[in-house]
Amino acid sequence: MKKVLRNVYLYLMLLFLYAPILVLMVYSFNASKSRGQWGGFTLEWYRRLFMDANIQSALYYTVMIAILATIISTIAGTVSSIGIFLYGNKAQKVMLNVNYIPVINPDIVTGVSMMILFAFVSMRQGFATMLIAHITFCIPYVILSVLPKLRQMDVNLIEAAMDLGARPMQIINKVVLAEIRPGIITGALFAFTLSIDDFVISFFTTGSGVSNLSIYVYSMAKRGISPEINALSTLMILTVTLLLFIINRRSNKKTKTTGERI
């Protein structure tokens, strides 16, 4: 009995979470523009979507910014983590607190304050400013993922390497990076998902001609409901689901081989 109740509750909550998305996906195949009725199956909205030059450019910028922001923030975050790790207690604390600001600050404050910064230095907003903003809010997450791994690292390993005559760069390469690798991967995944999904900060830091998918969906949704957004949503949701599925399988395999949880 208890089990049945539990299952009913969990499935009801899942229905609540997924029903709107499923309805959206179904409507993307609805030939009728009106949402009240079903006008037959169509792929027309997808066809229009692929013809739309604005969506193509939004997709291009979304992916481009996400890849660049992930690579740059992962490298920068990892390098900085090593630096921070070596600082004294007090300095470390101050740096971590500042690093924490973009994490706890509401997106809108981060976005607005960066917009003011770019105006202050008269930097015209566009691709570069949006990328800078994305890197700025991604690095903290990379550091927060990498630093704990550094702390868990066995110091004896390094000493052993030093005793064996390894040069500093070799130690970094062969010992440290190998040890903190899971943290780096988690950080990179975090950076990628945050960047690809971001709306608020991008909205305030972009300029003419550069919008990502979120900004595009927002401006379309403000104009009302359109079957093309439904089609776009369906594709975006399927992509994310697929990506997560792959990541999950990957990390499951990892869990089995290394017994480690990510």
Partner 1 sequence: MKKTVWILCAILLLVTSLVGCGQSDVKKLYVYNWGTYIDNSVLRDFEKENNCKVVYENYASNEEMYYKLKSGNANYDVIFPSDYMIEKMIKEDMLLPLDKQNIPNLKNIDPKLLDIPFDPGNQYSIPYFWGTLGILYNTEKVTKPVDSWNILWDKEYAKKILMYDSQRDSVGIALILQGYSLNSTNQDELNKAYELLVEQKPLVLAYVNDQVIDMMIGNEADLAVVYSGDAVYCMSENEKLAYVVPKEGSNQWFDNVAIPTTSQNKELAEKFIDYLCRDDIALKNTMEVGYTSANKNALEEASKEDDYNNIAYNPTDDILARCVAFKDVGEFITNYADIWTKVKAAQ
Partner 2 sequence: MNKNMRVLGLPYVVWMLIFICLPILLLGVYSFTDNTGNFSLENFKSFFTPIYIRILLNSLYLAFISTVICFILGYPVAYMIAKIPAEKKRNTFLLLFILPMWMNFLLRTYSWMTLLGNNGLINALLQALSLPQLNLLYNSGAVLLGMVYNFLPFMIYPIYSILIKIDENYITAAGDLGANPRQAFTKITFPLSIPGVITGITMVFMPAVSTFVIPSLLGGGQNMLIGNLIEQQLMQAGNWHFGSAASLIMMTIILLAMQFMNRFDKTQQKNMEMLA
**Interface ranges with partner 1 (CB under 8 A):** 34, 53-54, 57, 60, 64, 67-68, 71, 75, 115, 118-119, 122, 124-125, 127, 173-174, 177-178, 207-209, 211, 219, 222-226
Cβ closest to partner 1, residue 89 vs residue 122: 122
Residue 208 CB, nearest approach to partner 1 (Å): 4
Regarding 53 and contact with partner 2 (CB under 8 A), the answer is no
Regarding 16 and contact with partner 2 (CB under 8 A), the answer is yes
Residue 53 CB, nearest approach to partner 2 (Å): 21
Cβ closest to partner 2, residue 56 vs residue 170: 170
Residue 259 near which of partner 2, partner 1, none (CB within 5-8 Å, type-dependent): none
Cβ closest to partner 2, residue 19 vs residue 67: 19
Regarding 105 and contact with partner 2 (CB under 8 A), the answer is yes
Regarding 115 and contact with partner 2 (CB under 8 A), the answer is yes
Q: Exactly one of 116, 177, 178, 246 binds partner 2 (CB under 8 A); which one?
A: 116
**Per-residue x/- marks for partner 2, 54-93, CB under 8 A?**
----------------------x--xx-xxx-xx------
- State the Cα–Cα distance between residues 141 and 160, nearest whole angstrom: 31
Regarding 145 and contact with partner 2 (CB under 8 A), the answer is yes
Cβ closest to partner 1, residue 84 vs residue 115: 115
Regarding 32 and contact with partner 2 (CB under 8 A), the answer is no
- State the Cα–Cα distance between residues 166 and 204, nearest whole angstrom: 48
Total Cβ atoms within 10 A of residue 98 = 10
Residue 15 CB, nearest approach to partner 2 (Å): 11
Per the structure block, which two tokens stand in for 112? 């607005």
Cβ closest to partner 2, residue 115 vs residue 185: 115
SS (H, E, C) the chain: CHHHHHHHHHHHHHHHHHHHHHHHHHHCCECCCCCCCCCCECCHHHHHHHHCHHHHHHHHHHHHHHHHHHHHHHHHHHHHHHHHHHCCHHHHHHHHHHHHHHHHCCHHHHHHHHHHHHHHCCCCCCHHHHHHHHHHHHHHHHHHHHHHHHHHCCHHHHHHHHHCCCCHHHHHHHHHHHHHHHHHHHHHHHHHHHHHHCCHHHHHHCCCCCCCHHHHHHHHHHCCCCHHHHHHHHHHHHHHHHHHHHHHHHHHHHHHHHCCCC
For residues 55-78, one letter each, b for 16 or more C-beta atoms within 10 angstroms of the residue's C-beta and e for the rest, the string is beebbebbeebbeebbebbbeebb
Cβ closest to partner 1, residue 71 vs residue 132: 71
Per the structure block, which two tokens stand in for 208? 């003419």
Q: Exactly one of 126, 182, 233, 254 binds partner 2 (CB under 8 A); which one?
A: 233
Regarding 37 and contact with partner 2 (CB under 8 A), the answer is yes
Cβ closest to partner 1, residue 223 vs residue 256: 223
